[in-house]
Amino acid sequence: MGPCSSQQRKPATAGQALMPGTQQGNVDGFKVGPDIFVTLKQGSISNFYKIEKSLGSGAFGDVRLVIHKSSGCKRAMKQIRKDKIIKEDEENMFSEVNTLKELDHPNIVTLHELFQDAKNYYLVTEYLEGGELFQKITDMKHFTEKMAADIMKQILGGVVHCHQKKVVHRDLKPENILFENKKPNSNLKIIDFGTSRKMENNQNLTKRLGTPYYIAPEVLKRNYNEKCDVWSCGVILYIMLCGYPPFGGQDQEILQNIEIGKYEFDPEDWSKISEDAKNLIKKMLTKDYQQRISAQEAYNDPWIQKNAPNGQIDMKAIKNLSSFFGKNKVRAALMQFITTNLMTNTEKEGLLNEFKKIDKDGNGQISKEELLQVYMKQYDEIKAKQMVDDIFEKVDINKSGFVDFTEFMMSAASEEKLLSKIKLQQAFNMFDTNGDGQISREELQEIMGGVDDNLWKEILQMCDANGDGQISQQEFIDFLVKKYQQ
Protein backbone atom coordinates (compact mmCIF):
# COMPACT_ATOMS: atom_id res chain seq x y z
CA MET A 1 0.00 0.00 0.00
CA GLY A 2 1.13 3.56 -0.69
CA PRO A 3 1.61 6.10 2.10
CA CYS A 4 -1.84 7.60 1.43
CA SER A 5 -4.05 4.57 1.98
CA SER A 6 -7.14 6.66 2.68
CA GLN A 7 -10.33 7.10 0.74
CA GLN A 8 -9.97 8.42 -2.77
CA ARG A 9 -10.85 12.04 -3.39
CA LYS A 10 -13.72 12.68 -5.77
CA PRO A 11 -14.01 15.64 -8.10
CA ALA A 12 -16.55 18.05 -6.68
CA THR A 13 -19.73 19.02 -8.42
CA ALA A 14 -19.40 22.65 -7.29
CA GLY A 15 -17.06 25.11 -8.91
CA GLN A 16 -17.20 23.43 -12.30
CA ALA A 17 -15.41 26.41 -13.83
CA LEU A 18 -12.29 25.05 -12.15
CA MET A 19 -12.50 21.72 -13.93
CA PRO A 20 -10.54 21.56 -17.19
CA GLY A 21 -12.59 20.46 -20.16
CA THR A 22 -12.52 16.84 -21.21
CA GLN A 23 -13.46 17.29 -24.82
CA GLN A 24 -9.98 16.29 -26.02
CA GLY A 25 -10.02 12.85 -27.61
CA ASN A 26 -6.32 12.27 -28.27
CA VAL A 27 -2.84 13.18 -27.13
CA ASP A 28 -2.41 15.80 -29.87
CA GLY A 29 -5.49 17.67 -28.62
CA PHE A 30 -4.51 17.37 -24.95
CA LYS A 31 -3.99 20.75 -23.28
CA VAL A 32 -0.71 20.95 -21.38
CA GLY A 33 -0.01 23.52 -18.67
CA PRO A 34 0.39 23.78 -14.87
CA ASP A 35 -3.30 24.75 -14.58
CA ILE A 36 -4.52 21.25 -15.50
CA PHE A 37 -3.41 20.01 -12.08
CA VAL A 38 -5.65 22.41 -10.11
CA THR A 39 -9.16 21.01 -9.81
CA LEU A 40 -11.72 21.26 -7.02
CA LYS A 41 -11.58 18.07 -4.93
CA GLN A 42 -13.83 16.76 -2.17
CA GLY A 43 -12.76 14.87 0.90
CA SER A 44 -10.84 15.27 4.11
CA ILE A 45 -7.68 17.25 3.48
CA SER A 46 -6.09 15.62 6.55
CA ASN A 47 -5.97 12.35 4.62
CA PHE A 48 -3.38 13.90 2.35
CA TYR A 49 -1.76 16.64 4.42
CA LYS A 50 -0.35 16.75 7.93
CA ILE A 51 -1.54 19.98 9.54
CA GLU A 52 1.26 21.92 11.23
CA LYS A 53 1.56 25.39 12.78
CA SER A 54 -0.58 28.45 12.10
CA LEU A 55 0.94 31.04 9.75
CA GLY A 56 -1.75 33.67 10.30
CA SER A 57 -5.48 34.26 10.35
CA GLY A 58 -8.04 36.33 8.50
CA ALA A 59 -11.74 37.13 8.48
CA PHE A 60 -12.72 33.83 6.88
CA GLY A 61 -10.25 31.37 8.41
CA ASP A 62 -6.65 30.49 9.12
CA VAL A 63 -3.52 29.93 7.08
CA ARG A 64 -1.47 26.95 8.21
CA LEU A 65 1.72 25.20 7.31
CA VAL A 66 0.93 21.70 6.02
CA ILE A 67 3.10 18.81 4.87
CA HIS A 68 2.07 16.61 1.97
CA LYS A 69 2.10 13.04 3.29
CA SER A 70 3.22 11.38 0.05
CA SER A 71 5.99 13.77 -0.94
CA GLY A 72 6.96 15.49 2.31
CA CYS A 73 6.61 18.90 0.59
CA LYS A 74 5.82 21.89 2.81
CA ARG A 75 2.89 24.01 1.66
CA ALA A 76 0.62 26.77 2.91
CA MET A 77 -3.07 26.01 3.36
CA LYS A 78 -5.66 28.78 3.48
CA GLN A 79 -8.79 27.53 5.22
CA ILE A 80 -12.01 29.36 4.33
CA ARG A 81 -15.05 28.62 6.48
CA LYS A 82 -18.21 28.30 4.42
CA ASP A 83 -20.41 29.69 7.20
CA LYS A 84 -18.30 32.88 7.25
CA ILE A 85 -18.57 33.79 3.58
CA ILE A 86 -21.43 35.12 1.53
CA LYS A 87 -22.09 34.14 -2.07
CA GLU A 88 -20.01 37.03 -3.41
CA ASP A 89 -17.03 36.01 -1.28
CA GLU A 90 -17.34 32.44 -2.53
CA GLU A 91 -17.32 33.74 -6.10
CA ASN A 92 -14.26 35.83 -5.28
CA MET A 93 -12.47 32.75 -3.98
CA PHE A 94 -13.15 30.82 -7.18
CA SER A 95 -12.08 33.88 -9.12
CA GLU A 96 -8.78 33.91 -7.20
CA VAL A 97 -8.23 30.24 -8.00
CA ASN A 98 -8.98 30.68 -11.68
CA THR A 99 -6.70 33.72 -11.80
CA LEU A 100 -3.79 31.89 -10.19
CA LYS A 101 -4.29 28.98 -12.58
CA GLU A 102 -3.67 31.33 -15.50
CA LEU A 103 -0.51 32.89 -14.06
CA ASP A 104 2.91 31.30 -14.53
CA HIS A 105 5.68 33.61 -13.37
CA PRO A 106 8.73 33.29 -11.09
CA ASN A 107 7.47 36.15 -8.91
CA ILE A 108 3.87 34.97 -8.44
CA VAL A 109 2.82 32.36 -5.88
CA THR A 110 2.00 28.88 -7.20
CA LEU A 111 -1.39 27.32 -6.42
CA HIS A 112 -1.22 23.54 -5.98
CA GLU A 113 -4.63 22.25 -4.90
CA LEU A 114 -8.18 23.22 -3.93
CA PHE A 115 -10.26 21.08 -1.58
CA GLN A 116 -13.67 21.33 -0.04
CA ASP A 117 -15.50 19.43 2.67
CA ALA A 118 -18.84 20.10 4.34
CA LYS A 119 -17.55 23.06 6.37
CA ASN A 120 -14.55 24.55 4.58
CA TYR A 121 -12.69 25.30 1.39
CA TYR A 122 -8.92 24.84 1.40
CA LEU A 123 -6.52 26.60 -0.96
CA VAL A 124 -3.10 24.93 -0.96
CA THR A 125 -0.22 27.03 -2.27
CA GLU A 126 3.56 26.88 -2.13
CA TYR A 127 5.06 27.68 1.26
CA LEU A 128 7.13 30.87 1.32
CA GLU A 129 9.25 30.90 4.46
CA GLY A 130 11.36 34.02 3.90
CA GLY A 131 8.90 36.45 5.49
CA GLU A 132 7.19 39.65 4.36
CA LEU A 133 8.93 42.35 2.35
CA PHE A 134 9.44 45.00 5.03
CA GLN A 135 10.33 42.49 7.71
CA LYS A 136 13.07 41.16 5.44
CA ILE A 137 14.38 44.69 4.85
CA THR A 138 14.27 45.44 8.59
CA ASP A 139 16.36 42.34 9.29
CA MET A 140 19.07 43.45 6.83
CA LYS A 141 22.13 45.13 8.32
CA HIS A 142 22.27 47.58 5.44
CA PHE A 143 19.91 48.41 2.56
CA THR A 144 20.92 50.11 -0.67
CA GLU A 145 19.29 51.52 -3.81
CA LYS A 146 20.59 48.51 -5.73
CA MET A 147 18.76 46.19 -3.34
CA ALA A 148 15.60 48.28 -3.68
CA ALA A 149 15.89 48.17 -7.48
CA ASP A 150 16.29 44.37 -7.47
CA ILE A 151 13.22 43.97 -5.28
CA MET A 152 11.14 46.39 -7.34
CA LYS A 153 12.26 44.72 -10.58
CA GLN A 154 10.92 41.40 -9.31
CA ILE A 155 7.63 42.93 -8.14
CA LEU A 156 7.14 44.77 -11.42
CA GLY A 157 7.95 41.61 -13.39
CA GLY A 158 5.07 39.84 -11.67
CA VAL A 159 2.79 42.82 -12.25
CA VAL A 160 3.75 42.98 -15.95
CA HIS A 161 2.78 39.31 -16.30
CA CYS A 162 -0.57 39.95 -14.57
CA HIS A 163 -1.36 42.92 -16.77
CA GLN A 164 -0.49 41.04 -19.95
CA LYS A 165 -3.01 38.43 -18.80
CA LYS A 166 -5.51 41.28 -18.17
CA VAL A 167 -5.35 40.61 -14.41
CA VAL A 168 -5.40 43.53 -11.94
CA HIS A 169 -4.20 42.60 -8.44
CA ARG A 170 -5.83 45.60 -6.66
CA ASP A 171 -4.17 45.04 -3.27
CA LEU A 172 -0.41 45.21 -3.74
CA LYS A 173 1.23 45.93 -0.39
CA PRO A 174 4.27 44.68 1.55
CA GLU A 175 2.22 42.05 3.41
CA ASN A 176 1.35 40.48 0.04
CA ILE A 177 4.99 40.20 -1.05
CA LEU A 178 6.82 37.25 0.49
CA PHE A 179 10.30 35.81 0.04
CA GLU A 180 10.86 32.14 -0.79
CA ASN A 181 13.53 31.68 1.87
CA LYS A 182 15.70 33.56 4.35
CA LYS A 183 18.75 33.90 2.08
CA PRO A 184 19.84 37.52 1.41
CA ASN A 185 19.23 37.16 -2.35
CA SER A 186 16.01 35.18 -2.07
CA ASN A 187 13.44 35.29 -4.86
CA LEU A 188 10.17 37.00 -3.90
CA LYS A 189 6.57 36.29 -4.84
CA ILE A 190 3.32 38.22 -4.97
CA ILE A 191 0.52 36.50 -3.05
CA ASP A 192 -3.18 36.94 -2.21
CA PHE A 193 -5.16 37.39 -5.42
CA GLY A 194 -8.46 37.39 -3.53
CA THR A 195 -9.33 40.89 -4.72
CA SER A 196 -7.88 40.52 -8.22
CA ARG A 197 -10.06 40.85 -11.29
CA LYS A 198 -9.74 40.40 -15.03
CA MET A 199 -10.23 43.42 -17.25
CA GLU A 200 -13.01 42.45 -19.64
CA ASN A 201 -13.12 44.22 -23.01
CA ASN A 202 -10.90 47.00 -21.61
CA GLN A 203 -13.76 48.13 -19.39
CA ASN A 204 -12.64 50.09 -16.32
CA LEU A 205 -13.23 48.62 -12.86
CA THR A 206 -15.46 50.38 -10.36
CA LYS A 207 -15.29 48.52 -7.03
CA ARG A 208 -13.48 50.41 -4.28
CA LEU A 209 -10.93 47.93 -2.95
CA GLY A 210 -7.44 48.13 -1.52
CA THR A 211 -5.50 49.06 1.59
CA PRO A 212 -4.99 52.63 2.92
CA TYR A 213 -1.52 54.00 2.13
CA TYR A 214 -1.36 51.89 -1.07
CA ILE A 215 -4.73 52.52 -2.74
CA ALA A 216 -4.67 54.68 -5.90
CA PRO A 217 -6.71 57.93 -6.12
CA GLU A 218 -8.71 56.69 -9.12
CA VAL A 219 -9.82 53.64 -7.11
CA LEU A 220 -11.31 56.00 -4.54
CA LYS A 221 -13.28 57.55 -7.42
CA ARG A 222 -14.40 54.07 -8.58
CA ASN A 223 -13.11 54.40 -12.12
CA TYR A 224 -9.76 52.73 -12.78
CA ASN A 225 -7.73 50.21 -14.75
CA GLU A 226 -4.61 48.08 -14.22
CA LYS A 227 -2.43 51.14 -13.53
CA CYS A 228 -3.74 51.21 -9.97
CA ASP A 229 -1.18 48.45 -9.36
CA VAL A 230 1.61 50.72 -10.62
CA TRP A 231 0.58 53.37 -8.08
CA SER A 232 0.76 50.79 -5.28
CA CYS A 233 4.24 49.76 -6.46
CA GLY A 234 5.26 53.43 -6.39
CA VAL A 235 4.14 53.71 -2.78
CA ILE A 236 6.06 50.56 -1.87
CA LEU A 237 9.21 51.89 -3.54
CA TYR A 238 8.86 55.24 -1.78
CA ILE A 239 8.63 53.50 1.61
CA MET A 240 11.56 51.20 0.82
CA LEU A 241 13.80 54.21 0.17
CA CYS A 242 12.83 56.48 3.08
CA GLY A 243 10.99 54.35 5.64
CA TYR A 244 7.56 56.01 5.66
CA PRO A 245 4.64 56.37 3.20
CA PRO A 246 4.20 59.33 0.83
CA PHE A 247 0.63 59.91 2.02
CA GLY A 248 0.38 59.84 5.80
CA GLY A 249 -2.22 60.72 8.38
CA GLN A 250 -4.88 58.94 10.39
CA ASP A 251 -7.58 56.79 8.78
CA GLN A 252 -9.74 59.05 6.57
CA GLU A 253 -6.95 61.64 6.43
CA ILE A 254 -4.77 59.15 4.54
CA LEU A 255 -7.42 58.77 1.83
CA GLN A 256 -7.90 62.54 1.60
CA ASN A 257 -4.17 63.01 1.09
CA ILE A 258 -4.16 60.32 -1.59
CA GLU A 259 -7.06 62.05 -3.40
CA ILE A 260 -5.08 65.29 -3.39
CA GLY A 261 -2.08 63.36 -4.65
CA LYS A 262 0.60 65.68 -3.29
CA TYR A 263 3.73 64.35 -1.64
CA GLU A 264 7.32 65.48 -1.20
CA PHE A 265 10.88 64.25 -0.98
CA ASP A 266 12.04 65.67 2.34
CA PRO A 267 15.70 66.70 1.81
CA GLU A 268 16.63 65.33 5.23
CA ASP A 269 15.56 61.84 4.20
CA TRP A 270 16.10 61.92 0.45
CA SER A 271 19.38 63.79 0.00
CA LYS A 272 21.33 60.56 -0.55
CA ILE A 273 18.76 59.03 -2.92
CA SER A 274 19.46 59.36 -6.65
CA GLU A 275 17.42 61.61 -8.92
CA ASP A 276 16.72 58.58 -11.13
CA ALA A 277 14.96 56.86 -8.24
CA LYS A 278 12.90 59.95 -7.47
CA ASN A 279 11.98 60.36 -11.13
CA LEU A 280 10.69 56.81 -11.31
CA ILE A 281 8.58 57.34 -8.21
CA LYS A 282 7.14 60.52 -9.73
CA LYS A 283 6.14 58.64 -12.87
CA MET A 284 4.56 55.83 -10.83
CA LEU A 285 2.73 58.24 -8.51
CA THR A 286 1.28 60.42 -11.25
CA LYS A 287 -2.21 61.25 -10.03
CA ASP A 288 -3.83 61.05 -13.49
CA TYR A 289 -3.66 57.33 -14.22
CA GLN A 290 -3.99 57.96 -17.95
CA GLN A 291 -0.67 59.84 -17.77
CA ARG A 292 0.92 57.35 -15.36
CA ILE A 293 3.49 54.94 -16.77
CA SER A 294 2.58 51.29 -17.28
CA ALA A 295 4.13 48.41 -15.33
CA GLN A 296 6.21 47.52 -18.39
CA GLU A 297 7.50 51.08 -18.69
CA ALA A 298 8.37 51.09 -14.99
CA TYR A 299 10.18 47.76 -15.40
CA ASN A 300 12.18 49.21 -18.32
CA ASP A 301 13.05 52.39 -16.43
CA PRO A 302 16.81 53.21 -16.42
CA TRP A 303 16.96 53.22 -12.60
CA ILE A 304 15.63 49.65 -12.47
CA GLN A 305 17.78 48.36 -15.31
CA LYS A 306 21.10 49.89 -14.29
CA ASN A 307 20.81 49.03 -10.59
CA ALA A 308 19.16 45.59 -10.60
CA PRO A 309 21.63 42.76 -11.32
CA ASN A 310 21.67 41.19 -14.76
CA GLY A 311 24.92 39.27 -15.25
CA GLN A 312 26.17 37.00 -18.00
CA ILE A 313 24.07 34.02 -19.05
CA ASP A 314 25.65 30.66 -18.24
CA MET A 315 25.22 28.59 -21.41
CA LYS A 316 26.01 25.41 -19.49
CA ALA A 317 22.99 26.02 -17.28
CA ILE A 318 20.60 26.09 -20.27
CA LYS A 319 22.23 23.41 -22.44
CA ASN A 320 19.38 21.01 -21.65
CA LEU A 321 16.94 23.16 -23.65
CA SER A 322 18.26 21.83 -26.96
CA SER A 323 18.11 18.19 -25.86
CA PHE A 324 14.67 18.25 -24.22
CA PHE A 325 12.18 15.70 -25.57
CA GLY A 326 8.72 17.27 -25.54
CA LYS A 327 6.95 15.54 -28.41
CA ASN A 328 4.68 13.44 -26.20
CA LYS A 329 2.24 15.80 -24.46
CA VAL A 330 1.26 13.42 -21.66
CA ARG A 331 4.90 12.87 -20.74
CA ALA A 332 5.47 16.64 -20.86
CA ALA A 333 2.46 17.20 -18.60
CA LEU A 334 3.76 14.69 -16.05
CA MET A 335 7.17 16.36 -16.12
CA GLN A 336 5.50 19.73 -15.53
CA PHE A 337 3.75 18.18 -12.52
CA ILE A 338 7.10 17.06 -11.10
CA THR A 339 8.66 20.46 -11.85
CA THR A 340 5.87 22.39 -10.14
CA ASN A 341 5.19 20.08 -7.21
CA LEU A 342 8.43 18.30 -6.37
CA MET A 343 11.37 20.48 -7.39
CA THR A 344 12.57 22.44 -4.39
CA ASN A 345 13.30 26.17 -4.52
CA THR A 346 16.96 25.33 -3.96
CA GLU A 347 16.95 23.05 -7.00
CA LYS A 348 15.27 25.76 -9.08
CA GLU A 349 17.51 28.60 -7.94
CA GLY A 350 20.23 28.46 -10.60
CA LEU A 351 17.80 27.96 -13.48
CA LEU A 352 15.55 30.71 -12.12
CA ASN A 353 18.42 33.18 -12.29
CA GLU A 354 19.19 32.19 -15.88
CA PHE A 355 15.52 32.52 -16.85
CA LYS A 356 15.41 36.07 -15.49
CA LYS A 357 18.55 37.02 -17.43
CA ILE A 358 17.00 35.81 -20.71
CA ASP A 359 13.53 37.27 -20.00
CA LYS A 360 14.55 40.86 -20.69
CA ASP A 361 11.07 42.40 -20.37
CA GLY A 362 10.31 40.46 -17.17
CA ASN A 363 6.91 39.19 -18.30
CA GLY A 364 7.61 35.56 -17.38
CA GLN A 365 7.82 34.38 -20.98
CA ILE A 366 10.83 33.97 -23.25
CA SER A 367 10.26 35.07 -26.84
CA LYS A 368 12.17 33.77 -29.84
CA GLU A 369 13.88 37.15 -30.11
CA GLU A 370 15.06 37.02 -26.49
CA LEU A 371 16.43 33.49 -26.85
CA LEU A 372 18.00 34.34 -30.21
CA GLN A 373 20.01 37.12 -28.57
CA VAL A 374 21.49 34.50 -26.22
CA TYR A 375 22.49 32.02 -28.92
CA MET A 376 23.86 34.65 -31.31
CA LYS A 377 26.59 35.31 -28.73
CA GLN A 378 27.78 31.74 -29.30
CA TYR A 379 26.89 30.98 -32.94
CA ASP A 380 26.38 32.75 -36.25
CA GLU A 381 22.89 34.05 -37.03
CA ILE A 382 21.82 31.14 -39.27
CA LYS A 383 22.94 28.49 -36.77
CA ALA A 384 21.42 30.42 -33.86
CA LYS A 385 18.04 30.71 -35.62
CA GLN A 386 18.03 26.99 -36.38
CA MET A 387 18.76 26.16 -32.74
CA VAL A 388 16.10 28.53 -31.42
CA ASP A 389 13.46 27.20 -33.85
CA ASP A 390 14.34 23.65 -32.79
CA ILE A 391 14.11 24.54 -29.10
CA PHE A 392 10.72 26.21 -29.51
CA GLU A 393 9.40 23.22 -31.45
CA LYS A 394 10.25 20.94 -28.52
CA VAL A 395 9.85 23.21 -25.49
CA ASP A 396 6.82 25.41 -26.36
CA ILE A 397 4.43 22.61 -25.43
CA ASN A 398 1.27 24.72 -25.39
CA LYS A 399 2.21 26.45 -28.68
CA SER A 400 1.79 29.92 -27.20
CA GLY A 401 4.68 31.26 -29.25
CA PHE A 402 6.71 31.71 -26.06
CA VAL A 403 8.64 29.51 -23.65
CA ASP A 404 6.64 29.95 -20.45
CA PHE A 405 8.30 29.86 -17.04
CA THR A 406 7.28 26.31 -16.16
CA GLU A 407 8.18 25.09 -19.65
CA PHE A 408 11.65 26.56 -19.22
CA MET A 409 12.21 25.11 -15.76
CA MET A 410 11.05 21.68 -16.92
CA SER A 411 13.16 21.58 -20.08
CA ALA A 412 16.29 23.27 -18.68
CA ALA A 413 16.43 21.04 -15.59
CA SER A 414 18.66 18.01 -15.64
CA GLU A 415 16.45 15.01 -16.42
CA GLU A 416 18.71 12.96 -14.17
CA LYS A 417 17.60 15.12 -11.25
CA LEU A 418 14.06 15.88 -12.42
CA LEU A 419 13.33 12.20 -13.06
CA SER A 420 15.30 10.84 -10.13
CA LYS A 421 14.07 7.64 -8.48
CA ILE A 422 12.85 9.56 -5.43
CA LYS A 423 10.88 12.14 -7.44
CA LEU A 424 9.33 9.47 -9.67
CA GLN A 425 8.21 7.50 -6.63
CA GLN A 426 6.83 10.66 -4.99
CA ALA A 427 4.95 11.60 -8.16
CA PHE A 428 3.49 8.12 -8.54
CA ASN A 429 2.32 8.12 -4.91
CA MET A 430 0.62 11.48 -5.42
CA PHE A 431 -1.31 10.09 -8.39
CA ASP A 432 -2.06 6.79 -6.65
CA THR A 433 -4.54 8.44 -4.29
CA ASN A 434 -5.99 5.23 -2.84
CA GLY A 435 -2.56 3.67 -2.32
CA ASP A 436 -3.25 0.38 -4.12
CA GLY A 437 -0.07 0.52 -6.21
CA GLN A 438 -1.91 1.31 -9.45
CA ILE A 439 -3.06 4.50 -11.21
CA SER A 440 -6.57 4.22 -12.58
CA ARG A 441 -8.20 6.49 -15.13
CA GLU A 442 -10.26 8.11 -12.34
CA GLU A 443 -7.14 8.85 -10.29
CA LEU A 444 -5.31 10.35 -13.27
CA GLN A 445 -8.35 12.47 -14.19
CA GLU A 446 -8.63 13.61 -10.58
CA ILE A 447 -5.08 14.97 -10.49
CA MET A 448 -4.67 15.87 -14.17
CA GLY A 449 -7.85 17.17 -15.77
CA GLY A 450 -8.70 16.53 -19.39
CA VAL A 451 -8.35 12.73 -19.40
CA ASP A 452 -11.44 11.37 -21.15
CA ASP A 453 -12.01 7.74 -22.15
CA ASN A 454 -10.37 8.08 -25.57
CA LEU A 455 -7.27 9.77 -24.20
CA TRP A 456 -7.05 7.18 -21.40
CA LYS A 457 -7.00 4.42 -24.02
CA GLU A 458 -4.12 6.13 -25.79
CA ILE A 459 -2.25 6.55 -22.50
CA LEU A 460 -2.72 2.85 -21.76
CA GLN A 461 -1.30 1.99 -25.18
CA MET A 462 1.83 3.92 -24.26
CA CYS A 463 2.14 2.88 -20.60
CA ASP A 464 0.21 -0.28 -19.82
CA ALA A 465 2.80 -2.95 -20.64
CA ASN A 466 0.92 -5.86 -19.02
CA GLY A 467 -2.52 -4.84 -20.37
CA ASP A 468 -4.37 -4.85 -17.04
CA GLY A 469 -6.04 -1.49 -17.70
CA GLN A 470 -4.08 0.38 -15.01
CA ILE A 471 -0.61 1.89 -14.64
CA SER A 472 1.78 0.38 -12.14
CA GLN A 473 4.69 2.26 -10.59
CA GLN A 474 7.20 0.57 -12.91
CA GLU A 475 5.06 1.32 -15.97
CA PHE A 476 4.78 4.94 -14.83
CA ILE A 477 8.57 5.21 -14.41
CA ASP A 478 9.30 3.48 -17.72
CA PHE A 479 6.99 5.85 -19.59
CA LEU A 480 8.77 8.92 -18.22
CA VAL A 481 12.32 7.60 -18.49
CA LYS A 482 12.24 5.81 -21.83
CA LYS A 483 11.07 8.85 -23.86
CA TYR A 484 8.30 7.24 -25.86
CA GLN A 485 8.05 8.71 -29.37
CA GLN A 486 4.27 8.36 -29.79
List, as residue ranges, the binding site. Answer: 78
Exposed / middle / buried, residue 397 (Cβ in 10 Å: 0-12, 13-18, 19+): buried
Integer Cα distance of 247 and 215 in angstroms: 10
CA–CA separation, 31 and 125 (whole Å)? 22
Residue 224 φ/ψ, nearest 5 degrees: -155, 170
Within 10 A of 63 (CB to CB), how many other CB atoms are there? Answer: 17
Between the two ends of the chain, the Cα-to-Cα distance in Å is: 31
For 88, other C-beta atoms within 10 Å of its C-beta total: 8
Q: Which residues are annotated as a binding site for ATP?
A: 78
What is the Cα–Cα distance from 412 to 336, expressed in whole angstroms? Answer: 12
478 in active site: no
Give CA torsion, residues 249, 168, 128, 304, to 10 deg.
-80
* Rg of the Cα atoms in the chain: 23
Choice among 171, 229, 359, 404 that is catalytic: 171
Q: At what angle do helices 473-481 and 421-431 cross, to 10 degrees?
A: 130
Sequence-distant (≥ 6) Cβ neighbours of residue 105 within 8 angstroms: 157, 158, 161, 363, 364, 405
The contacts of residue 31 (CB under 8 Å, 6+ apart) are 20, 21, 24, 398, 450
Catalytic residues, which ones? 171
